[in-house]
Structure 1
Amino acid sequence: MTATRPENRPLLSLTPVSPEGYRHGSRSLLTCLYKCGNACDHPEPNQTATGHVQDEISKAIARRSVLRGAAAGTGALMLGGVAAASAASPAAAAPGTLAAAAVKGGPLARTKFRSVAPNRRDAVVLPDGFDHNVVISWGDPVVEGAPAWSPYDLTLDAVKKTFGYNNDYVSVVPLSGDAALMTVNHEYDDQTLMYPTGAYTEEQMAWFGIYSHGLSVVQIKRGLVPGSWYREKNLAKATKNRRINADTTFRATGPAAGHPLLQTAADPSGTAIKGTLNNCSGGTTPWGTVLSGEENFNQYFNTEGTVPTGVTLDDGSTLTNAYTRYGIAKSGSDPRKWHKYDDRFDLEAEAHEVHRFGWIVEIDPMKPEQAPRKHTMLGRFKHEGACAVISGDKRAVVYMGDDERGDYLYKFVSADKYDERASAAARRHNKTLLTKGTLFVAKVTGNDVGTPTAPYDGTGEWLPLTSDTQSFVPGMTVAEVLVFTRQAADLVGPTKMDRPEDVEVNKVNGKVYAALTNNSNRGSTFPADEANPVTSCGTRTSPGAPLVTQSGNRNGYVLEITPGSDNHARRTFTWDLFLVCGDPDSPETYFAGYDKSKVSRISCPDNVTFDAAGNLWIATDGAPTPLGQNDGLFRVPTAGAERGHVQCFLTVPKGAETCGPLMYDGDKSLFFAPQHPGEISGAVFESPLSTWPNTHDFPRPSVCVAYQAR
């Protein structure tokens, strides 16, 4: 069918809460609607009364001077890095120095640059001396035989075989020579920006949306300019390319696989799950597979009638908040309405299908014939991503965040040990590591008694929830803890955090860094504590506007965790707030003790990565941020005299979120993925507010790579 272009298109019937039509002082109405199902407008899923740091303030320990010294940047507690491709950790670095890997940092780690100024441009903006190119965009062919793609004349076959909508996590693993395999998540669709008005029926848009989700595995090749990469256009050569979508069967692993809670009419085995939804960030394992987190899966499940009130557990009792704790509820404003066309998404027709989402999935990009897996042992919640490292005792450890206001940080430790041999047998063994082990949730305690002041720090403990053989939560079985991980965690008293998103390990200093994006209700429904101290903050409506104060934590933090040795399997840790983000002119901000007059404004940290020098790279997601500027990617040293020196390396186009930061090829290539460009309140397909990357008269989410200009 051929679409027409009407002159006018009715706007969404949503009420803006700011002059520009942004929700909660930052995000656009469109992003709130399609990305997370207006999560902030619904009751907070975590209604438990415990879980704040001040609940344990009397237990604070007294070794403050040592912790303060570390927080100030002396590096005295820095540890040996954990090699991503090796089980062994290098020797610990001397106090105040970086590990030996630091000297190997390539140009993106070492080169000085002038910070990019805050802006609202519809472009990728880089410092002088750097360039970038687009690697792949929404609608580009992925598999051989992909039909021609156009949003004006879409077919389901084209949607299934081309690059999906939006692009969050990016993983790259080498093939041979100048080739590599890139795996990319497709987080969500946006009907307002994807389709011309009146071109398709509600049912057609539903099916297009279902198949626009998932992942793409794409072969890429080096360009002529060092650091550049492009997609392999000869798809006959790209034999490992594939689109993972709603037709793909995932195999459930771990203790909850096959449990009645995962069984459906279509799959009575409870082990064969079709598709993956709302894949946000992820991680690349030391054994070369890709992990992907299913995040805001709750929004796709709906009903025309009454949401089931509870689930019967193995002991015959009823878990009445089985749905509400995950934000699953009847929603008359749901724009997708998948439940009308596929019973899987109708809670009345199939109450257990929703339990088959919210997992960490694992894909082997080298084995396109092999079914990807959903690992129940890693728990079910709104996974931002998963960072896998090898502990000092050779076990696999996976750090994870649950992206919701007031939810928790998690860690998984494998039962079996990593096999570091370079053999097919070792790789097969390592691919089983995430099926058995122990799942933990974090409890943090502040060191300040009374009103805390920066620098903020304390101690912490990983509380066990379940192993593959024994539940540590009274009244819940192993499988129930894994299916209802949020409820299980509530019962052991972890710490409510401000939207824990990406959690990554710095391989140079061995520390763990967690992006805590924001919480506009911190200080009201969420009392402040030392790990979540901000109850009001400075905001701007545009880069040049005056600074004004708003309630809550709207700009976020970066939490720095020190495991205490090179063994990430340890149960205890120390922590500090490495960054209290925001405008340096605002008094609540803190940049690891660095001179605030010399740092870039930064808001809403989301995804993080590291270069070989141990610098932290932070991608932001506020679009536009509470500072009135486009999102960006920021470089921050984690040690030495420059510790905490936040510099903006690039900004993304209007309405876009910065995703997928990845250093590759000796820090010569920096992959990043602007998704949902132009997702600004009032934008429609016919009247876009962005046309980036300027290949068409509508915006296209794309994966890019940055490098030094020749």
Structure 2
Amino acid sequence: MDYNRRKFISFMGKAGLASLVLPQFLMSCGNTATPIKGFNNISDERLQELKNLILEGISASDKDDLLLADGLDYHTILKWGDKISDTDTFGFNNDYTCFIPFSDDNPKDGLLWVNHEYINPLFVSDFNDADENVQPKTKEQVDKEMYNVGGTIVRIKEENGVWKVVKNDPHNRRITAQTDIALNWDYPIKGQSYVKGTLANCSGGITPWKTFITCEENYDGFWGETVYDENNVESHVNSGYGWENFYEYPPEHYGWVVEVNPKDGKAQKHIALGRFAHECCTLYELEDKRVVAYTGDDHNDEHLYKFVSSKPGSLKEGTLYVADTINGKWLALDWENQPILKTKFKNQTEVLIRARESSKLIGATPLNRPEDIEIDPITGNVFITLTNNKPKGDFHGSILKIEETNGAFDALTFKASTYIAGGEENGFSCPDNLTFDMSGNLWITTDMSGSAMNREDKPYMPFKNNSLFVISRHGKEAGKVIRVASAPKDAELTGPWFSPDGKTLFLSVQHPGEQTKNLKKPTSTWPFDADNIPKPAVVAITGDLIEKMNRLNLIEV
């Protein structure tokens, strides 16, 4: 373990004062809202504090509760069904979270965005497909399901250490599967320039111009998918939820990166970033104000992408690239300049709609479910979680590190290496979401499936429930993977995001009790409401440990 810890720190890059990268903008999928500035100015006293910080983690647990390490506490901000206004309620299966304060002077009052990734019909619409006597799903049930996905914007304030929703604030609103959303593209898709709704919203980001980014991942579960045979003839594969029995919404309208304006809720889908199972979209603003957007396709043997804009502040004009990690090259998904793409697709729009097929044609490297992507605020290296690939025997996943040539995020070459692998030796399995705190420590959540956890016949038994981990960059624990939180039964912890002052970690507890087959016998009862059924929720984690880990935020520069 000592050798591995040294190796991990070397790969991540120690908090060395000579190699500091100062990003112009770094507010992405869970990264702190403030990039590290003035790291060279840290005082000897505060550096010593970090070196002396001892992290005492917790053991793996299968208990039905949200367990935290000493020095941490939590309170619930929002849970499924809570009112955010007189007309709207909080959606189901909350995932990614991010927070934008109203002003830099007050980090305790602002807007929280939360994704709602998918629904469990048993809870949301009282539809139990495990019941042999179940009746066909009705339009009313589908409408309930459509309302409970998408996202939530809500104003929250911290008072006396507790974050609370500001009820009926004018900003509070829901974005659902029925919200009108524009396509940011010059050509209609399936005859439309506006589409209905967003769904399968997994992770996301914040733009340099302070709007929310939410990413459509497993869209095919809602509207099915269009597939093509060897002669390029299309056919439709039905969805799992059966929504297309009541609404004729083409699958091609989903699977995009979506931008939402927090002020009025207006949204647009960015076609130039490609269509696939987007886990997240991590943005970086170059010195000339052009934007680089990293995004991964969360599916076995799919790919890592990077969009580089050709105009300042644009997520439309530019080039989408896909990674060849074997040769360290970014390959352009460009219909005009890639002759092989012209053999199968009519134009660039088709290339983007069928990005998976396009990527394979030009030689992209298949990866093991690329999910969250974060940029190290100290070194500028790019970290990507590869959650697993069970058909290929990768049960525990790993974290990939990309070093762009000369540290240039718009470079077309890079070096790829494995930062850390999941497994019993390192104490975690199936990495999912990442975030760096203000001291450059790396936080990791895991995503072992509920059907495989805590089963003797599965390889995940030693890890018990999904958890939140941290790899410290400083002190005696540097390089060690430490469990700081354990999720309730069947749940995963998602969407970690630090408040601007570094004193709160916002975190989603997603799908507790998802293995429930009978509401009278739920597999979890967290968060222990009076109605005794599990509910997804967003919590605020606070405490002395969080503040010490983010100690660098107190540096004046």
- Pick the TM interval, shorter chain: 0.7 to 0.9
Residue 510 of structure 1 is matched in structure 2 by: 380
| Mapped pair 1:230 → 2:159 | no
* Residues 125 and 145 in structure 2, CA contact (< 8 A), matched pair in contact too: no
Residue 256 of structure 2 is matched in structure 1 by: 359
Query: 1:644 Cα shift?
Result: 2.9
Residue 171 of structure 2 is matched in structure 1 by: 240
**Alpha-carbon separation, structure 1, partners of 2:209 and 2:226:** 41
Query: 1:564 Cα shift?
Result: 2.8
**Alpha-carbon separation, structure 2, partners of 1:389 and 1:491:** 28
Equivalences for 1:189-208 in 2 at 5 Å? 189-194=119-124, 196=126, 202-203=137-138, 204-208=140-144
| Mapped pair 1:173 → 2:113 | no
Equivalences for 1:87-236 in 2 at 5 Å? 112-143=54-85, 145-146=86-87, 161-176=88-103, 177=106, 178-194=108-124, 196=126, 202-203=137-138, 204-225=140-161, 228-233=162-167, 235=168
Equivalences for 1:395-544 in 2 at 5 Å? 395-417=290-312, 430=313, 433-445=314-326, 460-466=328-334, 473-475=341-343, 476=345, 477-522=347-392
**Alpha-carbon separation, structure 1, partners of 2:288 and 2:52:** 32
The one of 238, 244, 250 aligned to 2:181:
250
The letter for the 2-side match of 1:141 is K
Residue 237 of structure 2 is matched in structure 1 by: 329
**Alpha-carbon separation, structure 1, partners of 2:303 and 2:370:** 7
The one of 405, 422, 427 aligned to 1:564:
405
**Alpha-carbon separation, structure 2, partners of 1:506 and 1:578:** 12
* Residues 279 and 371 in structure 2, CA contact (< 8 A), matched pair in contact too: yes
The one of 363, 369, 391 aligned to 2:286:
391
The letter for the 2-side match of 1:662 is W
Equivalences for 1:580-619 in 2 at 5 Å? 580-584=421-425, 601-619=427-445
Residue 594 of structure 1 is matched in structure 2 by: none
Residue 684 of structure 1 is matched in structure 2 by: 518
| Mapped pair 1:666 → 2:501 | yes
**Alpha-carbon separation, structure 2, partners of 1:102 and 1:614:** 16
Residue 84 of structure 1 is matched in structure 2 by: 25
Alignment size in residue pairs: 508
Describe the shift of the 1:109–1:702 C-alpha distance in structure 2 as closer, same or farther (beyond 3 A). Answer: farther
Deviations 1:363-422 (A, max 9, x none): 111233xx20000000001101100012355421100000010000000011113xxxxx
Describe the shift of the 1:101–1:134 C-alpha distance in structure 2 as closer, same or farther (beyond 3 A). Answer: farther
Query: 1:487 Cα shift?
Result: 1.0
Residue 340 of structure 1 is matched in structure 2 by: 245
Residue 31 of structure 2 is matched in structure 1 by: none
Residue 621 of structure 1 is matched in structure 2 by: 447
The letter for the 2-side match of 1:613 is S
**Alpha-carbon separation, structure 2, partners of 1:271 and 1:649:** 46
* Residues 80 and 91 in structure 1, CA contact (< 8 A), matched pair in contact too: no
The letter for the 1-side match of 2:321 is F
Describe the shift of the 1:192–1:413 C-alpha distance in structure 2 as closer, same or farther (beyond 3 A). Answer: same
Which SS does the other structure have where 2:272 is aligned? helix
* Residues 437 and 498 in structure 2, CA contact (< 8 A), matched pair in contact too: yes
- Alignment RMSD (CA, Å): 3.2
The letter for the 2-side match of 1:569 is D
Describe the shift of the 1:229–1:309 C-alpha distance in structure 2 as closer, same or farther (beyond 3 A). Answer: closer
Deviations 1:413-469 (A, max 9, x none): 11113xxxxxxxxxxxx3xx1011110000112xxxxxxxxxxxxx611111128x7
The letter for the 2-side match of 1:137 is K
Describe the shift of the 1:121–1:221 C-alpha distance in structure 2 as closer, same or farther (beyond 3 A). Answer: same
Describe the shift of the 1:661–1:91 C-alpha distance in structure 2 as closer, same or farther (beyond 3 A). Answer: closer
Deviations 1:591-640 (A, max 9, x none): xxxxxxxx6x1111111111111111111111454433111111113578
Query: 1:83 Cα shift?
Result: 4.1
Describe the shift of the 1:521–1:245 C-alpha distance in structure 2 as closer, same or farther (beyond 3 A). Answer: same
Describe the shift of the 1:392–1:637 C-alpha distance in structure 2 as closer, same or farther (beyond 3 A). Answer: farther
Which SS does the other structure have where 1:280 is aligned? strand
Normalised to the residue count of structure 1, the TM-score between the two structures is 0.66
**Alpha-carbon separation, structure 1, partners of 2:53 and 2:111:** 27
**Alpha-carbon separation, structure 2, partners of 1:110 and 1:293:** 39
Unmatched 5+ residue regions in structure 1? Answer: 1-66, 147-160, 312-316, 345-352, 418-429, 446-458, 523-551, 585-598
* Residues 556 and 580 in structure 1, CA contact (< 8 A), matched pair in contact too: yes
Describe the shift of the 1:253–1:483 C-alpha distance in structure 2 as closer, same or farther (beyond 3 A). Answer: same
**Alpha-carbon separation, structure 1, partners of 2:123 and 2:116:** 15
**Alpha-carbon separation, structure 1, partners of 2:484 and 2:264:** 35
* Residues 415 and 437 in structure 1, CA contact (< 8 A), matched pair in contact too: yes
Which SS does the other structure have where 2:325 is aligned? strand
Normalised to the residue count of structure 2, the TM-score between the two structures is 0.84
Query: 1:664 Cα shift?
Result: 1.4
**Alpha-carbon separation, structure 2, partners of 1:278 and 1:358:** 8
Deviations 1:206-227 (A, max 9, x none): 22111111111001000312xx
Which SS does the other structure have where 2:351 is aligned? helix
Residue 539 of structure 1 is matched in structure 2 by: none
| Mapped pair 1:698 → 2:533 | yes
| Mapped pair 1:657 → 2:492 | yes
Residue 319 of structure 1 is matched in structure 2 by: 232
**Alpha-carbon separation, structure 2, partners of 1:91 and 1:565:** 20
Which SS does the other structure have where 1:659 is aligned? strand
Describe the shift of the 1:108–1:241 C-alpha distance in structure 2 as closer, same or farther (beyond 3 A). Answer: farther
The letter for the 2-side match of 1:189 is I
The letter for the 2-side match of 1:123 is D
Query: 1:75 Cα shift?
Result: 7.1
The letter for the 1-side match of 2:328 is G
Deviations 1:454-502 (A, max 9, x none): xxxxx611111128x7667343321111111111111110111000001
Describe the shift of the 1:464–1:648 C-alpha distance in structure 2 as closer, same or farther (beyond 3 A). Answer: same
The letter for the 2-side match of 1:444 is T
Describe the shift of the 1:309–1:678 C-alpha distance in structure 2 as closer, same or farther (beyond 3 A). Answer: closer
The letter for the 2-side match of 1:694 is F
Which SS does the other structure have where 2:67 is aligned? coil
Describe the shift of the 1:73–1:386 C-alpha distance in structure 2 as closer, same or farther (beyond 3 A). Answer: closer
Query: 1:519 Cα shift?
Result: 0.5
* Residues 204 and 279 in structure 2, CA contact (< 8 A), matched pair in contact too: yes
**Alpha-carbon separation, structure 2, partners of 1:630 and 1:610:** 23
**Alpha-carbon separation, structure 2, partners of 1:637 and 1:496:** 30
**Alpha-carbon separation, structure 1, partners of 2:473 and 2:311:** 32
The one of 68, 71, 75 aligned to 2:11:
71
**Alpha-carbon separation, structure 1, partners of 2:298 and 2:36:** 34
Which SS does the other structure have where 1:674 is aligned? strand
Residue 158 of structure 1 is matched in structure 2 by: none
Describe the shift of the 1:373–1:396 C-alpha distance in structure 2 as closer, same or farther (beyond 3 A). Answer: same
Describe the shift of the 1:482–1:213 C-alpha distance in structure 2 as closer, same or farther (beyond 3 A). Answer: same
* Residues 279 and 292 in structure 1, CA contact (< 8 A), matched pair in contact too: yes
Larger Rg: 1
